[in-house]
Structure 1
Amino acid sequence: MKTKVGLWIDHRKAIVVTVTEKGEDIKEIVSEVEKQPRRSGDSPLKGAYESHQVPADDSLQRNFTGQLNIYYDAVISYIRDAESILIFGPGEAKDELKERLEENNLGRRVIGIETVDKMTDQQIAAKTRQQFAELR
């Protein structure tokens, strides 16, 4: 059975539309990525804001990158068996995911990457159906 996937992704969530001969399925994968990690310690309004209370920028970036990698791995595990993958979304996540797919030797399955804005689940499903109908 040939499985085709349309994937709308940003850093907060991924909407996966899987199209097979039996029909289509829509799944949402929510990321645990925190774009602006909270700083520990007291508020600067409550007293001295010492430098050791603020995490270093590189540790925040490492934490952010680690969370993204976990999120991308969850998406990849869900779409791993797809024969063809169309990736679209508004920001950098689509390109970052493509790099992860290439690292996992799945990059050749990506048939296209497109920049689009926010879409409803039905719009994502319609775009996926239209794309794969054109490839037949």
Structure 2
Amino acid sequence: MRTNVGLWIDHRKAIVVAVTEKGEEIKEIISEVEKQPRRSGDSPLKGTYESHQVPADDSLQRTFTGELNVYYDAVIAYIRDAESILIFGPGEAKEELKERLEKNNLGSRVVGIEIVDKMTNNQISAKTRQYFAKSR
């Protein structure tokens, strides 16, 4: 059975619309990624501020990247069987996911990448149906 997928994605969540001959299915995948890696620790204004209390920036970045990798792997596991994948969304997550798909030998299934802002599930569904109706 032929499956076309429309995927709206940012670093917070992914909305996947899978369209088949039997209909469509919408799945939301939530990431555990913090919006921005930030330093924690005591404020110098509140008292002691020792360097060993504050995690290093590279440690925060590694944690952020690791969380993103887990999130992208969950998205890829869900869309792995799709024949065609349209990726759209507002930020960098589109390109990052495309790179991971290429590393997993799934890059050839990506039929388009588009920049769009926030959308409702109904708008994502409609965009996916319209895109794949044109490509038939």
Conserved 8 A contact 1:39-1:53: no
The question of whether the paired residues in 1 share the 8 Å contact of 2:39 and 2:57 is answered with no
User: Equivalents in 2 of 1:108, 1:20: separation in Å?
Assistant: 19
Task: Give the distance between the partners of 2:6 and 2:55, measured in 1 at CA.
Answer: 38
Specify the SS of the correspondent of 1:118: coil
User: Does the aligned pair in 1 maintain the 2:39–2:60 contact within 8 Å?
Assistant: no
Question: Using the alignment, how far apart are the partners of 1:40 and 1:124 within structure 2?
Answer: 37
Aligned mates of 1:124, 1:44 — CA distance in 2: 46
Q: Give the structure-1-normalised TM-score.
A: 0.95
Q: Number of aligned residue pairs: give it.
A: 136
TM-superposed deviation, 1:36: 3.1
Match of 1:88 in 2: 88
- Tell me, which stretches of 5 or more residues in structure 1 are unaligned? none
Correspondence list, 1:55-66, <5 A: 55-66=55-66
Provide the C-alpha distance between the structure 2 equivalents of 1:44 and 1:22, rounded to a whole number of angstroms: 60
Equivalents in 1 of 2:12, 2:83: separation in Å?
25
Matching residue of 1:52: 52
Shift in Å at residue 51 of structure 1? 1.1
Superposed CA RMSD = 1.2
Aligned equivalents of 2:8, 2:22: Cα separation in 1: 22
Q: Which moved more, 1:27-36 or 1:124-133?
A: 27-36
Distance 1:57 1:127 in 2: 39
Structure 2 counterpart of 1:121: 121
Displaced runs of 4 or more, over 4 A: 37-40
Contact 1:15 1:121 survives alignment (8 Å)? yes
TM-superposition CA deviations, 1:72-91 (whole Å, max 9, x none): 00000000000000000000
Kindly provide the amino acid, as one letter, of the partner of residue 102 in structure 2. Answer: E
State the percentage of identical aligned residues.
Answer: 85
In the alignment, structure 1 residue 73 sits paired with structure 2 residue 54: no
Question: In structure 2, what is the equivalent of residue 100 of structure 1?
Answer: 100
Unmatched 5+ stretches in structure 2: none
